[in-house]
Structure formats: structure tokens, C-alpha cells
Amino acid sequence: MNKRILLHICCGPCAITTVQTLKEQGFEVTGFYFNPNIHPLREYVRRREALKEVARELDFRVIYKDDEYDSRKWFRNIAHREDSRCFYCYGGRLERTLSIAKRGKFDFFSTTLLYSKFQKHDEIARLGYDMAGKGDTGFYYHDFREGWKKGIEISKEMGIYRQQYCGCLFSENERFQKELRDRD
């Protein structure tokens, strides 16, 4: 019997090679879309819809927690943590993923955040291992960045919506500020 893994997914494109890799490794993959950091709501919905397309194409189930999307709460919690916002954001999403994984008796949990070359990879892995501790649901670490270029190519071939920033308002502002600087 395959090991069951609950995979936190931030968007469709990040899921493509991550899910393919996990399936090749013998995992039964269930996705988990929980991203209260994504702003604005329109962006959250576009990413969710892109994930639905990817899940249909790759044939895996996804749990959606739209009822827990509350950007106002996320902004309140992050307001005085700008310097540590990524740590807070990673922690909140991994913590919720682990909670659902335990309740569903999954063998492991992981995240597509480990796919992005723009995320703080070591910090994410450390958080995952710390949260899992010695419990029945382990944190599964894999450097999914190895599939990054291939994932981009496949998402373009599939016509999947590809976002241009991490998801939060801070990362969106940083992206556009960089564009403005690059134009000068």
C-alpha cells in the first residue's frame, strides 16, 4: 500500500512536478489548498482555479479550505512582523496542513513551497521537521526545486495561470518596486 501524503499547495504551477515526483516515489497524494496570505481575493481565486485544472489533469484529490480564507486576520497577525512575515506565513500554513494530516491519518505532510527557488527553503524544512516532531505524521522533505524549470514549461503548455509574486501584499509590492527600479 502506498504511503499517504497531504501536500500543502500554494498554486497550480508549483503542484505540477511536485505531485509528479511524489507519485513517482510511490505516494498517494492529496492536495491541501490553504493560503490566507494571498492577496487580493481575486488572486486567491485565480490560483485556486489553476490548481483545480492541474488536479484534474494529474488526477489527484484536493481539500479546499475557502471557508478559512480571511485576509483581514492575516494582515492583523502580520502587521508588526514584516521582517519575519515569511516565517509566520510558512508556519501558519504548515501548522494547518499538519493538523488536517493528523486528523486524516496521513503518513506524511509536505508543501509545494519547497518547489520555489524564491522561498526560504531551509527555514521551511526546519519548521516542518520541528512541527512533526516524533508524531505519527512525519514531515516529508524533498528538494522539489529540481523540477522548477520543467514545471514552468509544463504549466505554459497546459495554459495554467502563472502568478508573478509569492502571494502576499508585501511580495506583490516588492515585485512591482523591482520592476520600477529596473525601468530606470
What angle do the packed helices 148-158 and 41-58 form, to 10 degrees?
90
Do residues 87 and 48 make contact, with C-beta atoms less than 8 angstroms apart? no
Q: Which residues contact 9 (CB under 8 A, 6 or more apart)?
A: 15, 18, 31, 32, 33, 51, 62, 111, 112
CA distance readout (Å), 71 to 32, 66, 75, 169, 181: 18, 11, 6, 10, 28
* Residue 125 backbone phi and psi in degrees, to 5: -60, -45
pLDDT, position 172 = 62
DSSP β-bridge partners for residue 8: 32, 111
Q: Regarding predicted confidence, which is higher, 74 or 29? A: 29
Residues 40-72: b if buried by 16+ CB within 10 A, e if exposed = eeebbebbbebbeebbeebebebebeeeebebe
* Residue 5 backbone phi and psi in degrees, to 5: -130, 135
Taking only the tens place, the pLDDT of each residue in 49-95 is 999 999 999 999 999 988 888 888 877 887 776 667 778 889 999 99
- Domains defined along the chain, listed by start: 3-183 (3.40.50.620)
**What does the alpha-carbon distance between residue 158 and residue 115 come to, in Å, rounded to a whole number?**
18
* Structure confidence at residue 126 as a pLDDT band (50, 70, 90): very high
Taking only the tens place, the pLDDT of each residue in 114-123 is 999 888 999 9
Do residues 18 and 147 make contact, with C-beta atoms less than 8 angstroms apart? yes
Please name the residue that has the C-alpha cell 524544512: 125
* Residue 141 backbone phi and psi in degrees, to 5: -100, 135
Looking at the chain, the whole-number percentage of residues with pLDDT higher than 90 is: 66
pLDDT, position 173 = 59
DSSP β-bridge partners for residue 32: 8, 63
The whole model's pTM is what? 0.90
